[in-house]
Amino acid sequence: MAYELTGLDGTVAVVTGAGRMRSIGRPIAVHLARAGCDVVLTGTGRSPSDYPADEREAGWRDIESVADEVRAEGRQAITAVSDVSDPDAVEALAAAVIEGFGRIDVLVNNAGASKGDDRKAVTEVDPALWRKVIDVNLNGAFYMSRTFGRLMVEAGRGGSIVNISSIAGKRLSPFTAAYAASKAGLQALTACMAQEAADAGVRVNAVCPGIVDTSRMDDLGRDETWQQIIRANVPLGRAGTGEDIAHIVVYLCSEQAAWITGQSWNVDGGSVVQH
């Protein structure tokens, strides 16, 4: 008999930041659907003019395209343009999820602020950019976890929350203070909430990706410079894929991970060994 992950059939998952074609959110949503979840997909409502060239060429439709992939797996999908950094928008999203599906079992906090001008010395960071990174990466996960975690606790069926963090929150490199602080904070949020929600059977874990080949990394190109970065930073010798992250997310949400909570898992090809 083949080994299978169990416990997700007929459950409902919310995946934030799920609209990009080359991404982490898209494969998470699709793999959760394959495991048996109906899926709620959120995105920011990007303008098609902001899509990468390959998305435009493919006729990509953001979260609607991912919803089609979820439905192709035989599961239901709901899409919602929502801002995780707005607590009122999060409450409205929760109401829509309950109206549409009547339950919530899995939350994946994947939405993240776009890489921007915050990657500089602390003394040079614009406070507005600092707030944007913290608002989306940390506050957004807090708002989502607070609202959907309460629904899980009240329903009495347990549940799983997975926060997509980063090894940046452990490596703590110079010129990354806003991003690294947001991700280190997300790992603290994970650990604290895991202990608080354990009695209700709600498990809370984080996944810390390393260098993953997504459209967010396109500013680095894919030439020899990219290969040098990989060789210098990834012992296993390749960049990660969204699927690499999706596999561990599905595992953490399954019955096979029933005794795992409060952990921040490095999924990075061996880049960082700190725990």
Q: What is the pLDDT of residues 109-155, one digit of tens each?
A: 999 998 788 999 999 999 999 999 999 999 999 999 999 999 999 99
Q: Please indicate, yes or no, if residue 272 is contained in any of the structural domains.
A: no
Number of domains in the chain: 1
**274 assigned to some structural domain:** no
Count how many Cα atoms sit within 13 Å of the Cα of residue 137 in the half-sphere of its side chain: 29
Cβ-count burial of 127 within 10 angstroms (0-12 exposed, 13-18 middle, 19+ buried)? Answer: exposed
For the cut 80, the answer to whether the pLDDT of residue 241 exceeds it is yes
Does some domain include residue 7? no
Residue 28 belongs to some domain of the structure: yes
Mean pLDDT of the chain: 96
134 domain residue, yes or no: yes
> What is the distance between the terminal CA atoms of the chain, rounded to a whole angstrom?
35
Radius of gyration, CA atoms only, the chain: 18
> Phi then psi for 147, rounded to 5 degrees?
-75, -50
Within a domain: 1 = no
pTM of this prediction? 0.96
| CATH number reported for the structural domain that contains residue 213 in this entry | 3.40.50.720
Asked whether residue 275 is assigned to any structural domain, the reply reads no
Residue 251 is a catalytic residue: no
User: What's the pLDDT tens digit per position in 69-117?
Assistant: 999 999 999 999 999 999 999 999 999 999 999 999 999 999 999 878 8
Domain with 72, as residue range(s), is: 12-267
* 218 — pLDDT class (breaks 50, 70, 90): confident
The residue from 3, 51, 143, 179 that is catalytic is 179
The pLDDT of residue 207 is above 70: yes
Residue written as tokens 């990219």? 226
**Domain-located, residue 124:** yes
Q: Is 140 helix (H, G, I), strand (E, B) or coil?
A: helix
